[in-house]
Amino acid sequence: MTHEAVVGYPLEACGLISGPEIGTTSDVATRFHRCTNVAASARIYTLDPREHLAIERGIEQQGDEILGVVHSHTHSEPYPSPTDVAQAPDPAWHYIIISLKRAAPEVRSYRIIDGTIIEEPIVLIDDGA
């Protein structure tokens, strides 16, 4: 995910994360799905709706579901902007932000529920691959 953000710079990069149904395995994301930022902006992102639909259908065929969205902030902190909060479609989703403001990317994850922002820990698991 961080690689995608760096490669996409100076535009915001975005994508979806998927895994087993929310709540079944502690919300473990097993895949990242890169998406096109159709806004083509350094300040906002918009997932390509066709890609989103195709990804969602593919994930559902595998018995998984979308667990959240990942996007980069090219010039600001890894914290949801007012636009991010207003556009948060699902309170069960994880909203992962990768900030490229400093030399080393910073990654944070949040839940956004009724406009309330709750930071949550990120735990990376080595799958042995």
- The tens-digit pLDDT sequence of the chain (129 residues) is 788 898 899 999 999 999 987 665 557 899 999 999 999 999 999 999 999 999 999 999 999 999 999 999 999 999 999 999 999 989 999 999 999 999 999 999 999 999 999 999 998 876 655
pTM to 2 decimal places: 0.91
Identify whether 125 is part of a domain: no
Residue 75 lies in a domain: yes
The per-residue b/e assignment along 87-120, b for 16 or more CB within 10 angstroms, e otherwise, is: bbeeeebbbbbbbbeeeebebbbbbbeeeeeeee
Domain count, the chain: 1
For residue 103, the model assigns a pLDDT of: 93
Q: Residue 75 is part of which domain span?
A: 2-120
Q: Are 70 and 47 in contact (CB under 8 A)?
A: no
For residue 15, give the H/E element and its range: strand 14-19
How much is the pLDDT for 2? 87
Tell me the residue length of the chain.
129
- Phi, psi at 100, each rounded to 5°: -110, 20
The verdict on residue 126 lying in a domain is: no
Question: Quick one: CA dihedral 83, 89, 92, 95, positive or negative?
Answer: negative
